[in-house]
A and B are shown apart, each in its own frame.
Chain A
Amino acid sequence: GQSLEQPSEVTAVEGAIVQINCTYQTSGFYGLSWYQQHDGGAPTFLSYNALDGLEETGRFSSFLSRSDSYGYLLLQELQMKDSASYFCAVSSGIDDKIIFGKGTRLHILP
């Protein structure tokens, strides 16, 4: 089977740093993506890792360890607008479908 595990909810304080972990078990692996979804909105792409290591894009960073089937999304200098659901997602091949985790609901406290 294929599964992605991530925490269902995380709470953090505005201005702080939060890390959302994701472990995956899939029949094939091409890359790990992270998507953000605000209530009622479309999933929007945040980052992508195909190789081990850290990718940084502004306040957001994403890490991948292929040997551990593990990745995380790191959000720094949290802002209230970052309150949303965050999905890790695996693509199993080039141009392939995305398999999503169940999402992590991020609550940010002022």
Chain B
Amino acid sequence: EAGVTQFPSHSVIEKGQTVTLRCDPISGHDNLYWYRRVMGKEIKFLLHFVKESKQDESGMPNNRFLAERTGGTYSTLKVQPAELEDSGVYFCASSGLGGESEQYFGPGTRLTVT
């Protein structure tokens, strides 16, 4: 069974540019989560999809961040325009419905905004 995959693994962009991160969850997983770890700080929740619906987006920092999950499969997270403080590692995780204790994390996308 393939795990959670994320693309790209690294992205270096200039302030003001746009970047789109992609996450492919484990097949059949309805729950999809985005997290972010800014250097030296804890992993913080961004938002949660159940299938194609946003269940909880309380962690989204501002309206420069837009997440979608069309069709309830893969998800994208767009940052537009990017700011320096957006640099960090963006993780995606997925789990099945029904209170699974484990979330399966992808390898992350390291975003550097210069």
A43 and B95 contact, Cβ closer than 8 Å, known pairs A48-B102, A97-B56, A97-B59: no
Q: Restricting to A6-59, which residues have a CB under 8 Å from any CB of B?
A: 30-31, 33, 35, 41-45, 48, 50
CB distance from A100 to the nearest CB of B (A): 4
CA distance A48 to B102 in the complex (A): 8
Which candidate, B14-22, B44-52, B68-76, is the interface stretch facing chain A?
B44-52
At the interface, yes or no: B108 with Cβ under 8 Å from chain A?
A: yes
Contact B107 A41 (CB under 8 A): yes
- Return the chain B residue nearest A50 by Cβ: B101
Encode A42-83 as 1/0 by CB contact (under 8 A) with B.
111100101000000000000000000000000000000000
Residue of A with least CB distance to B42: A102
Q: List 26 A-B contacts (CB under 8 A).
A: A31-B101, A33-B101, A33-B102, A42-B108, A43-B43, A43-B91, A43-B93, A44-B105, A45-B101, A45-B104, A48-B102, A87-B43, A91-B101, A95-B98, A95-B99, A95-B100, A96-B48, A97-B48, A97-B56, A97-B59, A98-B33, A98-B45, A100-B35, A100-B42, A100-B43, A102-B41
Task: Check: B88 CB closer than 8 A to any chain A CB.
Answer: no
Which B residues from 68 to 114 make CB contacts under 8 A with A?
Answer: 91, 93, 95, 97-108
Using a CB–CB distance below 8 Å, which chain A residues touch chain B? Answer: 30-31, 33, 35, 41-45, 48, 50, 87, 91, 94-103
Cβ distance B60 to chain A, nearest Cβ, rounded Å:
12
Q: In the complex the two chains form, is A95's CB within 8 Å of B105's CB? A: no
